[in-house]
Amino acid sequence: MESRERILAQLKIHQRTNNVLPPLVVPPAQPLNLVDKLVTILTGIGGQVAKVTSWSQIKSELLGMLGPDERAINLIPELEFLQPTPLGKEPHLLENVRLAVLKGHFAVAETGAVWVTSDLMGDRALPFICERLALVVEEKDVVPSMYEAYERIGSASYEFGTFIAGPSKTADIEQSLVLGAHGPKSMTMFLLKTN
Amino acid sequence: MKVALFIPCYVDQFYPTVAIASLELLEKFGVEVYYPEQQTCCGQPMANSGFEHLAGSCNNLFIENFSGYDYVVCPSGSCALHIKDHLHSKTNEPEAKAIRSQVMELTEFLTDILNVDDIQASFHHKVGIHQSCHGQRGLKLSQMTELVAPQFSKPERLLKMVKGIELIQLERKDECCGFGGTFCVAEEAVSVKMGKDRVDDHIHAGAEYITAADMSCLMHLEGILRRRKSNTKVIHIAEILNGATA
Amino acid sequence: MSELNATVSTSNKDHAERAEVFNKDEARVNWHDQTLWFIRSKRDKAAHTLAEWELLREAASQIKLNVLDNLFLYLQEFERNAMTNGIKIHWAADANEHNEIVHGIIKGAGVSHIVKSKSMLTEECHLNEYLHTRGIDVVDTDLGERIVQLAGEAPSHIVLPCIHWKKEEIGELFSKHMGTPKGNSDPQFLTGAARANLRQHFMSSRLAITGVNFAVAETGEIVVCTNEGNADLGVQLADVHIACMGIEKIIPKRKHLGIFLRLLTRSATGQPITTYSSHFRKARSGQEMHIVLVDNGRSERLGSDDFRNALKCIRCGACMNTCPVYRRSGGHSYHYAIAGPIGSILAPGLDMKKYADLPFASTLCGSCTNVCPVKIDIHDQLYKWRQVIVQDGYVAGGKKTGIGIMDFVFSKPGVYRFAGKVGRWMMNHFPFVVNNKMNPWYKQREMPVAPKQSFHDWYKERQRK
């Protein structure tokens, strides 16, 4: 407790009157088609994008992605792809998951990122430990930039949330880009457009 | 308009042609130029070495020399910037303040005050422009590549008025040459490496001449060029604008 | 290469001496310089995709200024909100206390093998060594950090820890430590080998340490940004998560992330965003989450008008990528956890004697200040540190004498003109007086030609005519 008091005392001495918080920077309106921009950015950072118009289309794509005896986990009730298995409390048991299919709340065109919160993850380790990640986002849920992203998130009380922009990667070895550092080696976004 | 000519110490001693060109150029545009004869140095080498607090007498001498003019014009971005940012006096602060607002680098003065739009000079050579850092980032003589902002360059605009000049494109438009004052000897290895890289950039782009608004940068680059017996030469912008045939 | 670093890092050499050693291998300097310049160019490209880039910088700067002025309030707000979410908050006055606290939590958890993702704060506190001497095995999981860890080195860049390593050297290192085939230097293959190896560490570690990119006062959540996913993997497989942060990492509101996340990665590497931007608000069920708030000189620095703005730093590394001196001297030349321009204005505040050389390792070109996403006046602070260092007596006596002579000469016009005349005459008649090995200028450059007349002489002559 002592350090806390000492630090706060020092900070109090150096406190200054400053109530100025600038307004947020609203990005200028983009004439570009948001979905096109999202696709360009995401594929540019190593993600895959499939534009689909039905859940059954997603299902057949996923079936094509899965090899024999490969473990997959689907957490989306609407998607009739494998019985959604309730996950236990042990994240280590997910190590052999080859493919995980999750829903995302929305995607951000300027960064190619998808906002996913823990309530959509089953287990928080799943989107990081699986070998391949598939995220389903509806086309109507694409926002232009991180500014709109945080407008949309607002004051939501998620316990854990993350923006996922493509597969995990590193360029630590002589700036050579390698996909699949510690997290998923590939990330596929299914952009669902339903009329 | 009374204009005082402020000549950097090393230009006075080692590159008098730059000072002569600056004087003649200003006179060509009808400016009444005064040269305060007791001037020495702006004090930058001392201040940049951390000895700002010992530059008092140097500052006072500067104020003595340069008080009472409308503008103080200097063919060096770094010296002009130093005066603009750091000229103070314990005994004569109002004068110091006045001079700080009056000091201008040469191309800045030609562009903003004289509104020069025609130069009677020709220079039929390939020329690379070295953007000296203090002039560029300090005095805003030209737009730096770091910022997302409209491009402009006062020195380049003036040079483009010179007949026959061919301005070359560089890989790194505004990287520092490595002179940096006492840095040039205190960190000799890095300083020279930076200079060599600048020189190589200009040479690869075909420069016959490297020009700049700061003779200190050019002195450093010239030292490297002459050591490797290169055909490429340096020339201060004042000399090109003043009609040097080189 | 690593032998070279080992010799240099344990010596008392200053930046200039280390940089001289670094420059002995010119081809390597070119490679290092060009690699980092390329990253600077990527940053430029990314910044130019946003017309509002300069507005973002200004907003970020103002937000951070507001934070620094109100840190007393924001930290308490953060603590309150984090604690409401079940997170345990610790306060560390200095590096040693930080290490003690972290060690205490590790001991309490009964573990001796842990994983750690990137945290410059833990580098600043020398946490790894502290834990190592107490029998705790810390595995750095960021690939770049793992590489320098295996090599027994400190990172040379805050974002690109092993930017100074060539792939052949990494191949050799992996062959030695992970049994990869000798001679294989393919980045894809080596990364795959590291993935497999580190997976085992993730799976067997019950405690994970992470850094903190942003701590949101309004919600008590912390944000951790990685490309590799190593921070997330480590935390989600652990029973205990310790997040270490400097107290200045606070931002007031969650929506401010919409500004900072748009600036951070573009400034650092030219990417629009890192692969993962993870917001930790509550620990996973059954997990303990701790945040260690570290002062270590920060609250003191807040008291300085001249130097407090360095605390706005969001650790992007853009200043290093743009610095022409950093690119040609390497991070280890700065002999401090954080190198380059920002390191040079932070370090002297912690130990002026040890780091007196750093503010002089610069030409004051100003490029750093203008790439800084939060507009820290870096080059102005470098200049100001020089004044402080000299006035506090941390500059060599010889330099002081030299400057004293300079001041004498420059404040007496007659003396100045005489000295100039004599100097030029000497250079013309006895060139070897300056053209020799004792003159550092002359090592690789010709001296300027000394004219017979100074401008002053010419002017006087013209007046007579």
Q: Can you give the pLDDT at residue A31?
A: 72
Q: Which of C65, C191, C278 sits opposite A173 (nearest CB)?
A: C191
- Closest Cα of chain B to C456: distance in Å? 7
Neighbours of chain C (3+ CB pairs under 8 A): A, B
Residue C218 clears pLDDT 60, i.e. is over it: yes
Share of chain C above pLDDT 90, in %: 92
Q: Which residues, 6 or more positions from C390, have their beta carbon under 8 angstroms from its beta carbon?
A: B49, B50, B51, B53, C400
Confidence of residue C398 (pLDDT cuts 50, 70, 90): confident
Q: Write down the pLDDT at residue A19.
A: 87
Q: What is the pLDDT of residues C339-353, one digit of tens each?
A: 999 999 999 999 999
Interface probe, candidates C34, C406, C460, chain B, greatest B C-beta count within 10 A: C406
Q: Which residue from C324, C371, C450 is facing B175, i.e. has the nearest CB?
A: C324
Per-residue tokens: B195: 């200079």
Whether C8 has a pLDDT exceeding 80, the answer reads no
Provide the shortest C-alpha distance from residue A195 to chain C (in Å): 31
Say if residue B90 is exposed, middle or buried (CB neighbours under 10 Å; 0-12, 13-18, 19+): exposed
Task: Identify the chains in contact with B, defined as 3+ C-beta pairs within 8 A.
Answer: C
Smallest Cβ–Cβ distance between A172 and the set C93, C147, C236 belongs to C147
Question: Tens of pLDDT along C338-390?
Answer: 999 999 999 999 999 999 999 999 999 999 999 999 999 999 999 999 999 99
- In sequence order, the β-bridge partners of residue C214 are C223
Q: Torsions phi, psi of C221, nearest 5?
A: -95, 155
Q: Which residues fall within 8 angstroms of residue C451, CB to CB, at 6 or more apart?
A: B13, B14, B15, B16, C424
Give the closest-approach CA distance of C364 to chain B in angstroms.
7
Check CB contact of B185 with chain C, cutoff 8 Å: yes
The tens place of each residue's pLDDT in chain B, 246 residues long, gives 999 999 999 999 999 999 999 999 999 999 999 999 999 999 999 999 999 998 899 999 999 999 999 999 999 999 999 999 999 999 999 999 999 999 999 999 999 999 999 999 999 999 999 999 999 999 999 999 999 999 999 999 999 999 999 999 999 999 999 999 999 999 999 999 999 999 999 999 999 999 999 999 999 999 999 999 999 999 999 999 999 876
What is the C-alpha to C-alpha distance for residues A25 and C204, in angstroms, rounded to an integer? 44
A47–chain C nearest CA distance, Å = 10
> Does chain B reach chain A with at least 3 CB pairs under 8 Å?
no
Instruction: From chain A, pick out residues whose CB is under 8 angstroms from the CB of C52.
Output: 25, 27-28
- Interchain proximity C16–B187, CB inside 8 Å: yes
Residue A22 amino acid letter: P
Q: How confident is the model at residue A81 (pLDDT cuts 50, 70, 90)?
A: confident
Residue with tokens 């945040």: C291
Per-residue pLDDT tens over the stretch B1-49: 999 999 999 999 999 999 999 999 999 999 999 999 999 999 999 999 9
- Of A143, A168, A182, which to mutate for an interface test with C (greatest number of C Cβ within 10 Å)? A182
User: What secondary structure letter does DSSP report for A81?
Assistant: S
Stretch C184-205: mean pLDDT, rounded? 96
Query: Hey, what are A190's tokens?
Result: 């299914």
Q: Which of B9, B40, B147 sits opposite C370 (nearest CB)?
A: B147
Residue A88, pLDDT > 60, answer yes
pLDDT in tens, C289-315: 999 999 999 999 999 999 999 999 999
CB contact under 8 A, A172 and C143: yes
Contacts of B184 in chain C (CB under 8 A): 441
Portion 168-187 of C in contact with A at CB < 8 A: 170, 187
Residue among A148, A115, A114, A141 nearest A27 (CA)? A148
**How far does the CA of residue A182 sit from the closest CA of chain C (Å)?**
6
Best A4, A41, A173 member to test C by mutation, with max C CBs in 10 Å, is A173
Tokens of C376: 């820290």
- C 61-100: CB under 8 A from A: 62-63, 65-66, 69-73, 75-76, 91-93, 97
| B56 and B89 Cβ atoms separated by less than 8 Å | yes
* Cβ atoms A124, A95 nearer than 8 A: no
Which residue in chain A is spatially nearest to C257 when comparing CA positions? A150
Q: Sheet with A97-103: list strands edge to edge.
A: A48-52, A186-192, A132-138, A97-103, A71-74
Residues near B214 by beta carbon (within 8 Å), at least 6 away in sequence: B76, B77, B78, B132, B134, B135
Strands C240-246 and C288-294: parallel
C403 CB near a chain A CB, below 8 Å? no
Over residues A139-154, mean pLDDT: 97
Residue C7 has pLDDT above 70, yes or no: no
C403/B51 CB distance under 8 A? yes
Q: Say whether B40 and C416 touch across the interface (CB within 8 A).
A: yes
Q: Calculate the dihedral angle through the C-alpha atoms of B108, B110, B115, B120, rounding to the nearest 10 degrees.
A: -140
**Contact residues on chain C for A160, CB-CB shorter than 8 A:** 278-282, 284
CB pairs under 8 A between A and C: 243
- State the DSSP H helix or E strand holding residue A113, giving kind and residue range, or none if neither: strand A113-117
pLDDT at res. A1: 63
Residue A187: φ, ψ to 5°: -135, 125
What are A16-61's pLDDT values in tens digits?
998 889 999 999 988 779 999 999 999 999 999 999 999 999 999 9
* Contact criterion met (CB below 8 Å) for C59 and C262: no
Nearest to C240 by CA among C287, C282, C293, C278: C287
Residue B51 to residues B37, C127, C353, C384, C402, Cα–Cα distance (Å): 25, 38, 17, 10, 11
The pLDDT of residue A85 is above 80:
no
